[in-house]
Structure 1
Amino acid sequence: MLSVMQSEDDLKLSLKRLNRFSRIMETQWRIPFTKIRFGLDFLIGLVPVVGDVLTGLLSLWLIKESLRYQLPKRIYIKMVLNVLLDVLVGSIPLLGDFFDLMFKANRRNLKLVIEHLESSK
């Protein structure tokens, strides 16, 4: 459900901004000769622990921005758990780097927002 003051144009612009952020963080580039995509989340996450904590903090921006949609609490809980999992597992040397390539918490969180908004129409 959109807030009372949220117009359809505001919604489109906001979702466009969230999608751009998610793309930059997780799917901006592709490993040549593969279908594996990566973004700043992976690159920054290569710095042990600090990189994963930093990308986790950046990922909280998407959750903060989604507050304008007044989503159910269970969706926000899932979103926070996605970020926590990304930070915790991503902090494990080598395994965490592989996990970062595959998990993509921001894409998952954006999908949760979009699915809820579409089901609310």
Structure 2
Amino acid sequence: MNSSSLAHAKWKCQYHIVFIPKYRRKVLLGQLKSDVREIIKKLCEYRRIEIVEGAVCNDHVHLCVSLPPKYSVSDFVGYLKGKSALMIFDKHPELTTKWTKSFWARGYYVATVGNVTEDAIKKYIQEQSKEAEIEETRK
């Protein structure tokens, strides 16, 4: 059992999280795609959250994260989407409009990694990433 520990707890809490840009726009391309990848890595490092696997596709982001039990999933996703949007707009001010400063859509998908093996989710995320790369090369 690969588990982590806090002061008084051993845990293995992994989640598959998917979220999308507002209106599922296909904007996660080129430099923005690599910036989003680095921003997500940095924000997870700040909170000491392990990214097991991840992929930034044209119109969505897949993450398989190991989240300590002291964080709720909704708080983590709110933190990640909120801070990343601010950091994205700092690096890419052309993405803002005068009416709104929202980058991500409100909702997200989350599933615990338990009824599906970790390897199956890693394989799924890698396949999604490959499909996105193939789609990009077609353009």
TM-score interval (norm. to shorter): 0.3 to 0.5
Q: Which of structures 1 and 2 has the larger relative contact order (alpha carbons within 8 angstroms, sep 6+)? A: 2
TM-score after normalising by structure 2 = 0.31
Kindly name which structure, 1 or 2, has the bigger radius of gyration based on alpha carbons.
2
Higher strand share: 2
